[in-house]
Amino acid sequence: SPTLVLSILQTNITNCAPYYAIWGPYPNVSTGCSAVLNGCVSTPTVLSTATPTNYIYNIGGYNYVDMFYTDPGVYVSFNGLNTTPGNNTYLIQMINENCGGPYNRWAKFCIGLHNPATNSTPSGASLIDQCGIQYSGSTSGGYAPSQSLSNIDNNNSTSCPSSFGGNCNGSNGNDVPFIINNPSYFTFCATATGTYNIKFDVITCIQPVSGAQGSQMAILIGSANSMTLNQVATNPMLPSSPIWTSSNFTLNTGQCAYLVVDGFAGDQCSYSYTLNNVGGSGCFLPIELINFGIEEFENYNLLSWETATEINNDYFILEKSYDGINFYQLGKIKGAGTSYFKNTYSFIDANITNGIVYYRLKQFDFNGESKVVGLIDVKRTSKISNGFNVEIIPNPSDAFIDVIINYFKESIINISIINLDGKIIFNEIEKIEPGKSIISFDLRNLEDGMYFVKVEIDKFIKTKKIIKNGRQN
C-alpha cells in the first residue's frame, strides 16, 4: 500500500550514531539477505546487487538512516513503501558503531508499520465542534511530517518570535519552538468575537527513556498555510504534570485557531483537551468561507465560492437582487455536511442584463438555522468579447467531443465541463501551440443533457453549450 508508513524510534543514547538501512523490495527474505549479506558487517557497505529504495540520507555512496545519538528519541519514517509485482519484502538492517565513550555501544529501538494519521498535517486538522467538551487524542498514529521540523505551515514568511526561545528567532520560518516528530492537529473557528482558553492534560506515555518523555503542545492563530504562535504549554507535559490551562486569547469573527500536539522526542502519548468560551457569544462558524466571487462570461455570470471547513452544513441558497434589498432565490446547492477539507462550489446565472446586480449566499444547518455568509455585486455594461475562437464537434454528441481552439500564441489553457448546477465535471490544464489545437473529452459516462465547456486562456474566457445525447454503457 502506498499509504503505509514505516517508523523507527531509537530509545537510548549511544556513543556513535548507528545506521538503519532499508533494503528492498525483494521477492522473499532469503533473496534479500543474499543481496545485502556483505553489507551486514561493521562497515555499512552497499553492494551493487542490492536495491535500497527508501532512505533518509545518502552519504558516502550508501543509503541509511542516521539516528544521531544526541537525541535518544529521534523518530524518522518512510512514507509510501513501493512494491512491484512479486516484490514486496523489505529488510531493515541495523548497524552499530562500536566506539569508546560514556554511553551505550548498542542501540535500542522500536520499529512500527502503520497507516498515517489523518490529522497529522495542518490542512487535515481535526475539527473541534463544541466548547466545554473534553476531547481525547493520541500521538501514536502520527508520523514525522514532510514539512520542516518546526515550520509547520511551510511558510517562511511566518516565524515565531525569539521570546519563545528554542527554535524561534523571528525570521527563520519556524512556527513553534520545538521539533515536530509525530504531530496531531486540531482547529476551530469563532462565530463571533470571543475569548477562549484551552485545558490540556497528558494521560499516558510509552517512551521509557528519561528525558525523552511526554507531549508538547502549542496554540497558533491563522490558517493552515499561515500561522502565528500564540502560546506554548509546559514543555514537556508528563502524565504526572498538572493540567495546563492556557492564558485567555481572543478570536475575531471568522478567525481560526490551531492546536498542535506532538510527542516529545517521538514519545507516543494519550491526552485530553477542552476548549472553553469564556467571553463573547458563539463558539464556531458552521462554515469557514475562503472566498465568494463572480466571473463575467459572454452569456452568463458564474458564481463560485470555497469553504475551508464545514460543520453540519446542509445546503446553500444563492439569491439575486437588482436593488440590493429585495432578493429572490436562484438555486439550492447541497453542502458537504461536516468536512475538514476545502470544498469548491459554483452556480451559473444565465439570466443576465446590463446594470448592477447583487448576489447573496446563505448557509443552512441540518437543524434549519441559517446565516448570510456572502454578498457581492457586479456591474455589466455589455457582453464580453474575447480574442480567441472555440469550436466543439460533434455537438450534440453521444460519446466523444473535440474542443478546437485557435489562438495566436503558445499558452496554458484551463478547460472545464460544467453541468447545469454549476458543478465542474471535468477539468484539464493543457499547453497549446500557436494556431489550432484539439483537445478531446469522453462523455460516455455522463447523463444525457446540457453542459457547458469553459475555456480559459490568459485573461480571456470562452464558454460553449454542448448537448450529451444517448448514454453509452
> Can you give the residue ranges of every domain in the chain?
5-114, 122-280, 288-380, 389-468
Q: Is the dihedral of CA 339, 344, 350, 351 positive or negative?
A: positive
Decide if 258 contacts 174 (C-beta within 8 A): no
Cβ neighbour number for residue 229 with a 10 Å cutoff? 23
What cell does 432 get? 497549446
Q: What would the mean pLDDT of 201-221 be, rounded to a whole number? A: 83
pLDDT in tens, 346-392: 888 888 877 888 899 999 888 777 887 888 878 776 554 444 678 88
**Has residue 191 got a pLDDT over 80?**
no
**Has residue 33 got a pLDDT over 80?**
no
Closest CA to 351 of 370, 369, 385, 328: 328
**pLDDT interval class at 109 (50, 70, 90):** confident
**Has residue 401 got a pLDDT over 70?**
yes
Q: What would the mean pLDDT of 19-31 be, rounded to a whole number? A: 76
pLDDT in tens, 221-258: 998 889 999 999 998 899 999 999 999 999 987 788 99
Tell me the CA distances in angstroms from 468 to 5, 405, 417, 438, one per residue in order. 44, 20, 12, 19
- pLDDT (0 to 100) of residue 58: 39
Tell me the CA distances in angstroms from 400 to 244, 266, 396, one per residue in order. 62, 53, 10
**Has residue 54 got a pLDDT over 90?**
no
| Superfamily of segment(s) 288-380 | Immunoglobulins (2.60.40.10)
Which DSSP helix (H) or strand (E) runs through 229?
strand 226-232
pLDDT in tens, 292-342: 888 877 677 888 898 877 888 899 999 998 877 788 999 999 999 888 778
Q: What would the mean pLDDT of 166-170 be, rounded to a whole number? A: 85
User: Domain 389-468 belongs to what architecture?
Assistant: Sandwich (2.60)
Average pLDDT taken over every residue of the chain:
77
Question: How far apart, in whole angstroms, are the C-alpha atoms of residue 255 and residue 281?
Answer: 14
- 122-280 matches 288-380 in fold: no
Question: How far apart, in whole angstroms, are the C-alpha atoms of residue 113 and residue 7?
Answer: 6
CATH of 122-280, one of 2.60.120.380, 3.30.300.30, 2.60.120.10, 1.25.40.10: 2.60.120.380
